[in-house]
Amino acid sequence: MNSKKIPIMANRIPIKDVIEANKCEQCTALCCSYITQEIDTPRSIYSFDTLLWQVAHQGVHFFKDSNGWFLLCQTRCQFLLPDNRCGIYERRPIICREHSHEACEFDSPIDEGCELYFQTFDELDGYCRKRFKHWDKRQAKFEAEQVRLGVW
Ligand code: SF4
Ligand code: SF4
C-alpha cells in the first residue's frame, strides 16, 4: 500500500501559521457554535428575575466581563458544514472575518476570564440570593401588589 505524508514546508509557510491551521482542523468550530449580544447592565430585582426566566431556557447563558453584560446563546450557525467548515466562506459576515484563531475558544472556554458566568437557573438564582436581601420574597410581594391593585 502506498502512503505519503504531506511535508510541512517550514521554509515557505511560517511554522506558527501551520500550527494555527492545525488548531482549526482539530476543533469542532467552537467559534461558530454560539452568538452573543450585549445587554443593559441588570440592576433591579425585576431585571435579574427576567434574566432568570431567560437562563431557564436550554443554551441561554449570561456573562459579565470587562466590556459589560452579555447574552450568550449556544446555537450552531446554519452555514456550518458537517466537516465544521464554513459553507459561505466568501460571503461570511465581517465579525467572522475579524475573529482570530490566535487566542480563541479552542484555547480556553468562554467562561474563563469572565467576572461572572451563569449557565443555569440555579447559578443565577444563587447569585441573586446573595445580591438581594429580599430576593426570595419577590414573588409574594408581586402577588400582594396584584391583589392590592385589583388585578387578581
Ligand atoms: S478559530 Fe478557534 S474556535 Fe474557531 S475553529 Fe479555529 S480553533 Fe476552533
Ligand atoms: S458564517 Fe461561516 S464563519 Fe460565520 S459563523 Fe457561520 S459558519 Fe462560522
36-81: pLDDT as tens digits: 999 999 999 999 999 999 999 999 999 999 999 999 999 999 999 9
Q: CA-CA-CA-CA torsion for 141, 147, 149, 150, nearest 10 degrees?
A: 160
Q: How many CA atoms, within 13 angstroms, populate the side-chain half-sphere of residue 17?
A: 7
pLDDT mean across residues, the chain: 89
Are the CB atoms for 56 and 121 separated by under 8 Å? yes
pLDDT of residue 122: 98
pLDDT-derived band of residue 17, with 50, 70 and 90 as boundaries? low
The answer on pLDDT for 1 being more than 50 is no
Mean pLDDT over 137-147 rounds to 95
Question: How far apart are alpha carbons 71 and 61 in whole angstroms?
Answer: 6
Task: List, chain by chain if needed, residues with CB within 6 Å of any ligand 1 atom.
Answer: 23-24, 27, 29-31, 101, 104-106
Which residue has the CA at smallest separation from atom 2 of ligand 2? 86
pLDDT of residue 97: 96
pLDDT of residue 105: 93
pLDDT of residue 117: 98
Pick the ligand that lies closest to the CA of residue 19. 1
pLDDT of residue 20: 57
Are the CB atoms for 136 and 129 separated by under 8 Å? yes
32-42: pLDDT as tens digits: 999 999 999 99
Task: List, chain by chain if needed, residues with CB within 6 Å of any ligand 2 atom.
Answer: 32, 77, 79-80, 86, 88, 92, 96
Question: C-alpha cell of 90?
Answer: 466568501
103-118: pLDDT as tens digits: 899 999 999 989 999 9
Question: How far apart are alpha carbons 26 and 123 in whole angstroms?
Answer: 31
